[in-house]
């Protein structure tokens, strides 16, 4: 690495050089604010007659990862914002010169700073070489065609800013100021310096680059030049296009990657540590699983686009539900919904089931809002929710999982809704919530959709906020008091009207019959469902309020349904805070969640040691001072069965589960972390002989994997509760999968990359070799193109068995032992040919 201080002018006018902005760099995002500051510095260094002004450093690989025969490429890895902006300023100066008869200045600027004058090939001409949409905009301002570009571009905006500033009076001042800019040139030698590490060091604060910029850099930087372009165009560019708010024109890539990591790890990363989390997971970028992961990130990004831009969804029924979720800002559900939508695209569920899931998510969140439960609890629910879905009973398992939540995580019952609707102020709430409520109430099973967002339709108080004196005459004192103090802003007293101003504080009879100037302002003329009951009554009193509230409540239950599923009636089956849980005697865990991290673990002891280690890392002094709660020493001989928790400190392991529970609860109280440990017991006591199906599946996989011979496919795969195990087949987007269900076992090849077209093409190429593949396998296979789904698959299976009958396990094992190695060998060579 070499570092030199020099003038920016000398750097930019180097002959036969291209300054290459690689694809892994962040977008050019300087605005006119930064341009104004730079121009101010350029002008002031000349006007104040200072010898120089320092603008920072520019870091580049001096040989470049790739060079043409004509020019030497300098790959810019830091400083591209300043370098690009100065080039835009030179273009603005060049344009000003052309328009004002300064031909000599124009030629000098153009041939010295903007192009390589004496080169043969057009690709070598421009000194600033960009590889994204900015290159189109830069070429346009250089040739004067920028007005023909409709898309927003910071390049064009900043060019127009500079053109508006440059005048005859300051032209020379700006040129001379540019000559006084100095910077530190840091050149890295390819093969000796580590560009990634230097890049991270320069941007270690995380202030200059977004998390997505750092991730893009991590994915692309150390690839060969052609490899960068290929991966950028095939993987990263689609992700950037999908994770973007098309209305606000803002990037949401950092948010998307955060949601993806939440789905994968069942833990929500800190917003400022998304890059660190991503990098930690994928250190070995040569491993096949890394490329599979990139393919999966890309695949799920197409669904993320639907969430943040519902208007792009073609299906009107799915679009409507996503619009509701988007309007309610149920962003915490995105990690869960990413995989749900992928399952629908792969044919695991159909469109009707998907819509049921979207409605269920709304029911769950909206009911919680109505009864006033904290929204903060939703993070804990949705980050792990997909792991509780059984794809054989998709909707039912989801509904059961939500209904089993307890405490602050619960799914509110109909009775709780009934009480809340009577008392909750639904007028003085966020407009998005109020509009959502009225829109769905009004349009339930309404063939003619009413646009309740129409500014002429407003929320109307039946009993007014400032009632006229006649209201006191018409109502008994206690009823008047109840309306004014208790029920004024509740749903029973609220309706919609296109004549709110006209109805105002009038009596109920006037509001109902009003028809001034033939404009039919009264309730009796309304076509809105919310006013149908009001048309039938002559008086608005508490009795009428109660009846209307009942009608609205019954409609509410049909819109935001409470799931009609059978739930195992045991608190053991709930996910609950450790402070609410029953004693762990004769019980095993299904999992526990500590500080938003879900751990699949059966033993209470393992949870105990895990939490102690985490508490030690948080505040070791606080833990060590709590000797009256738990004895901790450096001498293992102080204990019957000492277990090290951290840094040479030991605790007693030979204590019962109840004592462990008690100690954890006391420690969590001291640490003020009472809401950070949740547990879920396995269904039923551990000695009942009736373990849940999730435990049975995990148990089956545990005994099967060591028996597999002649294949290394699943040696690194951990047993799970799922009815399937998958592993890579040697090409991104293609997996070998073992599947167990209630009635069959099978081995299949799944072709499920992010591109439906690629999947169908690969399936057809394999199908062309059907005869050879089936000959190698030894018998016919079932080939399923699944033209309506994104994925395709090829499989062999055996029916007539039952996973939940251990007497069938030997037969199931034999199926996998015999078929999996032959299945792998039959496809191995053909899959390699697909690459």
Q: Contact, 561 vs 364, CB < 8 A?
A: no
Local confidence band at 661 (pLDDT 50, 70, 90 cut-offs): very high
Beta strand pairing call for 53-61 and 181-188: parallel
**pLDDT tens for residues 390-399?**
888 899 999 9
Between 327 and 502, name the one with better pLDDT.
Answer: 327
Q: Which pLDDT belongs to residue 373? A: 93
Q: Contact, 339 vs 263, CB < 8 A?
A: yes
Q: Which pLDDT belongs to residue 65? A: 47
- Counting every residue written for the chain, the total comes to 835
The encoded tokens of residue 54 equal: 């320092």
Tally of CB atoms within 10 A around 667: 19
Q: Which pLDDT belongs to residue 272? A: 87
**pLDDT tens for residues 323-364?**
999 999 999 999 999 999 999 999 899 999 999 999 999 999
What does the longest C-alpha to C-alpha distance in the chain come to? 96
Q: Which pLDDT belongs to residue 690? A: 38
DSSP 742-789: SSEEEEEEEE--S-HHHHHHHHHHHHTTHHHHHHHHTS--EEE--TTS
**pLDDT tens for residues 611-649?**
999 999 888 888 888 788 999 999 999 999 999 988 889
- What is the C-alpha to C-alpha distance for residues 761 and 753, in angstroms, rounded to an integer? 11
CB under 8 A, 24+ apart: contacts of 8-11: 8/55, 8/86, 8/178, 8/181, 8/182, 8/183, 9/178, 9/179, 9/181, 11/58, 11/183, 11/185
What DSSP element (H or E) covers 734? strand 734-740
Query: What pTM was computed for the model?
Result: 0.72
Q: Which of 211-220, 500-509, 586-595, 742-751 has the highest mean pLDDT?
A: 742-751
Residue 821 has pLDDT above 70, yes or no: yes
Coil vs helix vs strand at 73: strand
All residues at 6 or more sequence positions from 776 whose CB lies less than 8 Å from its CB, including other chains: 822, 825, 826
- What is the C-alpha to C-alpha distance for residues 115 and 42, in angstroms, rounded to an integer? 23
The encoded tokens of residue 584 equal: 């762990």
Q: Which pLDDT belongs to residue 204? A: 42
- What is the C-alpha to C-alpha distance for residues 400 and 569, in angstroms, rounded to an integer? 11
Q: Contact, 408 vs 374, CB < 8 A?
A: yes
Tally of CB atoms within 10 A around 456: 9
Q: Which pLDDT belongs to residue 367? A: 97
- What is the C-alpha to C-alpha distance for residues 102 and 522, in angstroms, rounded to an integer? 74
Residue with tokens 């469902």: 529
652 strand-pairing partners: 642
- What is the C-alpha to C-alpha distance for residues 465 and 475, in angstroms, rounded to an integer? 15
- What is the C-alpha to C-alpha distance for residues 762 and 782, in angstroms, rounded to an integer? 16
- What ranges make up the beta strands (E) of 157-228? 181-188
Coil vs helix vs strand at 582: coil
Inter-CA distances, 552 with 421, 435, 559, 813, Å:
9, 16, 11, 56
CA-nearest of 562, 587, 561 to 574 is: 587
Q: Contact, 494 vs 460, CB < 8 A?
A: yes
Beta strand pairing call for 128-130 and 17-21: parallel
- What is the C-alpha to C-alpha distance for residues 459 and 819, in angstroms, rounded to an integer? 66
Backbone angles phi and psi of 201, in degrees to 5: -65, -45
Backbone angles phi and psi of 695, in degrees to 5: -65, -40
Residue 369 has pLDDT above 70, yes or no: yes
């Amino acid at each position: 690495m070499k570092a030199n201080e020099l003038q920016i002018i000398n750097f930019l006018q180097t002959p036969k050089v291209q300054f290459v902005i690689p694809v892994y760099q962040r977008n050019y995002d300087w605005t006119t604010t930064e341009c104004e500051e730079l121009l101010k510095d350029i002008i002031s260094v000349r006007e104040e007659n200072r010898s120089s002004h320092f603008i920072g450093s520019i870091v580049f690989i001096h040989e470049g990862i790739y060079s043409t025969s004509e020019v030497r490429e300098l790959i810019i890895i830091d400083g591209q914002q300043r370098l690009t902006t100065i080039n835009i300023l030179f273009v603005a100066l060049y344009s000003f010169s052309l328009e004002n008869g300064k031909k000599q200045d124009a030629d000098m600027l153009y041939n010295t700073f903007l192009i390589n004058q004496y080169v043969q090939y057009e690709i070598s001409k421009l000194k600033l070489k960009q590889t994204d949409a900015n290159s189109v905009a830069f070429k346009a301002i250089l040739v004067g065609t920028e007005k023909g570009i409709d898309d927003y571009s910071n390049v064009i905006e900043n060019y127009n800013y500079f053109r508006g500033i440059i005048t005859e009076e300051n032209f020379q001042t700006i040129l001379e100021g540019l000559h006084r800019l100095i910077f530190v040139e840091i050149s890295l030698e390819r093969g000796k310096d580590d560009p990634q590490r230097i890049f991270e060091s320069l941007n270690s604060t995380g202030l200059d680059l977004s998390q997505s910029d750092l991730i893009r850099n991590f994915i692309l930087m150390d690839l060969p030049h052609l490899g960068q372009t290929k991966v950028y165009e095939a993987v990263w560019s689609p992700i950037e296009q999908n994770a973007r708010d098309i209305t606000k024109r803002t990037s949401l890539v950092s948010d998307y990657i955060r949601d993806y990591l939440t789905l994968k790890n069942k833990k929500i990363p800190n917003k400022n540590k998304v890059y660190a989390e991503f990098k930690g997971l994928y250190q070995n970028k040569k491993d096949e699983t890394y490329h599979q992961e990139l393919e999966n990130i890309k695949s799920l990004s197409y669904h993320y686009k639907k969430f943040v831009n519902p208007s792009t969804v073609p299906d009107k029924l799915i679009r409507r539900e996503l619009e509701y979720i988007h309007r309610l800002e149920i962003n915490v559900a995105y990690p869960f919904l990413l995989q749900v939508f992928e399952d629908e695209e792969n044919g695991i569920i159909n469109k009707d089931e998907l819509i049921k899931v979207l409605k269920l998510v709304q029911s769950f969140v909206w009911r919680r809002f109505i009864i006033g439960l904290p929204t903060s609890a939703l993070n804990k629910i949705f980050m792990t929710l997909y792991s509780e879905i059984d794809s054989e009973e998709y909707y039912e398992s989801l509904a059961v999982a939500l209904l089993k939540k307890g405490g602050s995580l619960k799914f509110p019952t109909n009775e709780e809704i009934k009480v809340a609707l009577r008392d909750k102020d639904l007028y003085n709430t966020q407009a998005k919530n109020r509009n959502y409520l009225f829109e769905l109430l009004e349009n339930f099973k309404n063939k003619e959709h009413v646009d309740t967002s129409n500014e002429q339709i407003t929320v109307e108080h039946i009993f007014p906020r400032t009632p006229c004196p006649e209201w006191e005459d018409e109502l008994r004192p206690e009823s008047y008091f109840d309306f004014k103090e208790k029920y004024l802003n509740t749903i029973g007293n609220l309706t919609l009207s296109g004549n709110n101003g006209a109805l105002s504080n009038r009596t109920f009879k006037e509001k109902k019959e009003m028809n001034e100037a033939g404009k039919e302002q009264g309730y009796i003329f309304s076509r809105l469902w919310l006013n149908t009951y009001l048309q039938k009554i002559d008086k608005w009193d508490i009795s009428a309020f109660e009846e209307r509230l009942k009608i609205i409540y019954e409609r509410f239950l049909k819109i935001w349904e409470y799931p009609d599923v059978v739930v195992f009636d045991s608190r053991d089956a709930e996910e609950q805070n450790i402070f609410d849980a029953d004693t762990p005697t004769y019980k095993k865990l299904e999992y526990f969640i500590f500080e938003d991290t879900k751990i699949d673990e059966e033993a209470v002891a393992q949870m105990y040691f895990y939490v102690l280690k985490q508490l030690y890392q948080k505040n070791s002094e606080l833990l060590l001072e709590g000797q009256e709660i738990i004895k901790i020493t450096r001498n293992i001989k102080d204990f019957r069965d000492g277990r090290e928790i951290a840094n040479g400190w030991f605790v007693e392991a030979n204590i019962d589960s109840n004592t462990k529970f008690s100690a954890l609860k006391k420690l969590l109280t001291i640490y003020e972390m009472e809401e950070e440990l949740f547990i879920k017991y396995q269904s039923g006591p551990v000695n009942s002989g009736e373990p849940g199906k999730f435990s049975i599946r995990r148990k089956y996989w545990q005994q099967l994997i060591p028996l597999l011979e002649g294949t290394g496919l699943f040696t690194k795969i951990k047993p799970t509760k799922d009815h399937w195990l998958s592993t890579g087949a040697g090409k991104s987007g293609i997996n070998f999968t073992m599947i167990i269900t209630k009635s069959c076992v099978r081995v299949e090849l799944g072709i499920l990359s992010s591109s439906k077209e690629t999947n169908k093409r690969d399936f057809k190429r394999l199908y062309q070799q059907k005869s050879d593949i089936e000959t190698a396998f030894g018998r016919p296979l079932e080939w399923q193109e699944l033209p309506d789904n994104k994925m395709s698959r090829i499989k062999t299976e055996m029916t007539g068995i039952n996973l939940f009958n251990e007497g069938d396990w030997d037969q199931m094992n034999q199926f996998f032992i015999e078929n999996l190695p032959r299945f792998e060998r039959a496809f191995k060579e053909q899959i390699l040919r697909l690459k």
